[in-house]
A and B are shown apart, each in its own frame.
Chain A
Amino acid sequence: MEIIMSILAGVLFTTGVYNLLQKQLLRIIIGTALISHGAHLFILTMGELKRGAPPILDYSIDQYTDPLPQALILTSIVISFGVTSLLLVLAYRASKENGTDNMDKLRGNEND
């Protein structure tokens, strides 16, 4: 299963990077969201899948899944949520102020 999950993470990265290379702001944000999904899946897969019960202690169980990657992912989810929401508002303001959301046209002034 780890192999399939690795491939799925690869697909998420591929589509994420492809969106990142687009010229429209919204697509770029979708790209970053996809990449963070891919990264979360990647971390989870690295910690071995399905090797026991959920990491909530119970005296009848002695085999749990690895809790550390889960803690890391939990932190990461929150951070990427913060960044995504910031990016969304930034995109909204940028396209409002500049009248375009085309990255090719957002290049600053000659004299900046």
Chain B
Amino acid sequence: MLFAVFLPALLAIFIPYFSKWKEKIHTGYFVLLAPLAIFIYFVSFVGNDFEPVSQNYEWIPSLNIGFDFYLDGLSLLFVLLISGIGSLVAFYSIFYLHTSERLDQFYVYLLLFMTAMFGVVLSDNVFVLYSFWELTSISSFLLIGYWNYKERSRYGALKSMLITVFGGLSMLGGFILLSIITETTSIQEMIGQVDIILGHDYFGLILGFILLGAFTKSAQFPFHIWLPDAMEAPTPVSAYLHSATMVKAGIFLVARFTPIFSESEWFFVFVSGIGILTLIWGSYMAVRQTDLKGILAFSTISQLGMIMAMLGFGTSTAIFAAVFHILNHATFKGSLFMVAGIVDHESGTRDIRKLGGLATLMPISATLAFFGTFSMAGVPLPFLNGFYSKEMFFDASIKLESSSLMIAELLRTAIPYLAVFGSIFTFVYSMYLVFGTFMGQKKLDQLPKKPHEAPIGMLIPPIILVVGVIIIGILPEAFNSSLIAHAAESIYGQPIEKHIQYWHGLKAPLFMSLAVVVIGALLAFARKSWSGIYSFLPGKLSFNKAYDFIVDQLEKTSAKITNSYMNGSLRRYMIYILTAILICTFTFIGLTGGFNWDASNLSEITIHEVLIALAMATAAIATIFTNNKIGSILILGVVGYGLALLFVIYRAPDLALTQLVVETITVALFLLCFYHLPNLRERTDSIVEKSTNIIISVGFGLLMTVVAISAHSTKLFETISGYFIETSHDIGGGDNVVNVILVDMRGLDTMFEIVVLGIAALAIYGMIKLRNKKGAK
């Protein structure tokens, strides 16, 4: 199974070589092998007596992360969909994409995506699941932006990336919480600890986080906005990712965690509430679209909402219907996308207002589209699979269990009506789609190309899918016990005995279906007379605008905030740094009572020290007020020589010597530069600037004084200098202790101080000598 999962990625490594090696053969033929082989491999598992298979491969054993693959009914259904439709899409793309396109890139992305999807549906380890989940987001991003010279493609790719990664990250949060609570990373082991999870304080957070991940990936309301924009991708991508596989990853996630969450009534409220809302909004908005793929995108949103709602119901009928509809939707939606791609390919436009009457020109495509759309609309014909799952959906919506939660009870009574309402619009857009494109007047003069039937290779994949629609429609029971029942069992937790049949008897679901068909047909017929409603709802309201506004405002606000404090002025940054130091240190001193005053261990005060100190203080203050260049340099010298005098008094002969020499050289340097430096100007600071300067500098001086006094008053242990004095002569071989420390005991300091001087000298030399001519870089 490990090999099956990674086969596409492995093949992806060789794709660029293949496409360079045999340029005349379409790269798609090489690609086709991988999903086909995997499909055949997994078909061998299908059977009435299927038992879950589990295989473990180590990855990071110390963190309990490994490729733990678990193939149960649900995974098997998804794996078959991914590999089966993957083969068809690969085949379709051979005829859809011309060899002049960058085929190697396309197929590398597509194969990466396949591996990622296999990993998502087969992983039992939450963190591995998450890794594959993000890989689907990334490869989908690359595929949507495949025609990256188009502005709309880049916009759509970025939007889908932002939304799905946002959800993916929140899902990771949910997974981490789950694995902390249950102390395991395996989903199957988590299912064994349902009681612990349900009773835990974090349960609400976990539910919210994971559902957010599922809703963003599966384009549920209000995160559905990325899906219509993702239609800028090539049609094989739309058919594969955005109808059959990736958008069902969220559905898969909800289904996978249903055994854990379904006890909670909030799960019912959120999942079925959002699902129903998505169903209605998606089908309502689909009628408004003019682009074929736009209609199909909103249609996908609405169908996903329907599946999500059924998973939320949580009854055995509903879950069975959900699984059945996953299969059905993948077949008819895949074929519809391919037909839309054919129409686009052969007529040059996807705008339904320009299309019409193509049935005579493209009879095969038209027939395929009729089967697909009628199945999607749930027309009660015994050879269309969409009808069966829709019927079960109505059946499930009536038979909801009553609940103690107020809002859940409210939802329970409303759901059957809402379901019918959403389905009416589904019927309307389905009819609009097929009749608008293939019936009515021909408008050949508006089309960029003269339409004709597609090449046979392009027609084969949709034909296979439509044949699938019909086979499932005629022989639904054939798929029941071998495939669907197992998938439903792994969601529901126990075996579900259901029979799929065309005739239920004269019961409520049938009347609901009939109502949908009648009202839907009437509305579809009179579509032009009521389409004005869209200017009221949504009217100017649009989630796309909200998204654009949020992204735009985020950029603008962060730019504004950054510009407000990063204004390029060094003085401003100094103020930030000093203020932070002041606040932190004073707060710390205040909180810990750090200020000490101990006057017992002070040396005596003598008059000449005080005089020197006064002179230094006066000189230091004078540097602020002087506007004379040479004056300020000399005053600075006074401070330096004063310090040297203090060193003399405080028994530091070496220091005094060095300070005198260094101060002299520094003053000399200042005087050397003085000739070249511009004159000191009068200050032009405003009062505000001046007062901030004063507050900060006085605060900083005060801080240092306070720290010095309290440090002097708090001597926690004796100095270690006794050792230096004792051993200076015997070990160091010198009587001048300071010098012995410098060159012997702490010689490294001195070495690097020499290095500092050397570097400074080199840098000065470089700055003076090396200069570029103006303009030269």
Residues of A within 8 A of B (CB): 1-27, 30, 33-34, 37-38, 40-42, 44-58, 64-68, 70-71, 73-75, 77-79, 81-86, 88-93, 95-96, 101, 103-104, 107-108
Contacts and interface: CB of A to CB of B under 8 A. Distances in A.
Contacts of A77: 655, 658-659, 662
A70 B712 CA distance: 17
Contacts of B649: 50
Nearest to A110: B568
19 contacts: A2-B709, A3-B602, A9-B708, A11-B616, A13-B697, A15-B621, A16-B620, A21-B697, A23-B685, A24-B680, A26-B629, A33-B640, A34-B636, A46-B708, A71-B741, A78-B658, A81-B757, A89-B768, A104-B571
Q: Which secondary structure dominates where chain B touches chain A?
A: helix
A47 B719 CA distance: 8
B624 interface: yes
B569 A107 contact: yes
Nearest to A106: B570
A17 B700 contact: yes
Nearest to A64: B725
A57 B739 CA distance: 12
A84 B666 contact: yes
Interface stretch (B127-135, B261-269, B403-411, B728-736): B728-736
A92 B741 contact: no
Nearest to B681: A24
A49 B601 CA distance: 10
A64 B719 CA distance: 12
Contacts of B705: 6-7, 9-10
A66 B209 CA distance: 63
Given A50-B650, A64-B737, A78-B662, A15 B620 contact: yes
Interface string B720-754: 11001100110000011110011000100110010
B604 interface: yes
A107 to B, nearest CB: 4
Contacts of B540: none
B735 A54 contact: no
B632 interface: yes
Contacts of A24: 678, 680-681
B604 A26 contact: no
Interface of B: 567-571, 574-575, 578, 599, 601-606, 609-610, 613, 616-617, 620-621, 623-624, 629, 632, 636, 639-640, 643, 646-647, 649-655, 658-659, 662, 665-666, 669-670, 673, 676-678, 680-681, 683, 685, 692-694, 696-698, 700-702, 704-705, 708-709, 711-712, 719-721, 724-725, 728-729, 735-738, 741-742, 746, 749-750, 753, 756-757, 759-761, 763-764, 767-768
B737 A17 contact: no
B713 to A, nearest CB: 9
B741 A67 contact: yes
Given A8-B613, A41-B643, A88 B673 contact: yes
Contact of B750 (A9, A73, A75): A75
Nearest to A53: B651
Contact of A85 (B669, B708, B729, B746): B669
B704 A5 contact: no
A23 B571 contact: yes
Contacts of A2: 602-603, 708-709, 712
A97 B709 CA distance: 45
Given A1-B602, A10-B702, A26 B737 contact: no
Task: Tell me which of A73, A74, A84 has the highest count of chain B C-beta atoms within 10 A of its own C-beta.
Answer: A74
Contacts of A5: 613, 646, 708
B314 to A, nearest CB: 58
Contacts of B749: 71, 75
B708 A42 contact: yes
B437 to A, nearest CB: 51
B603 A81 contact: no
A80 B647 CA distance: 17
Given A24-B681, A89-B768, A44 B650 contact: yes
A10 B701 contact: yes
A57 B737 contact: yes
Contact of B767 (A4, A53, A90): A90
A39 to B, nearest CB: 9
A3 B711 CA distance: 11
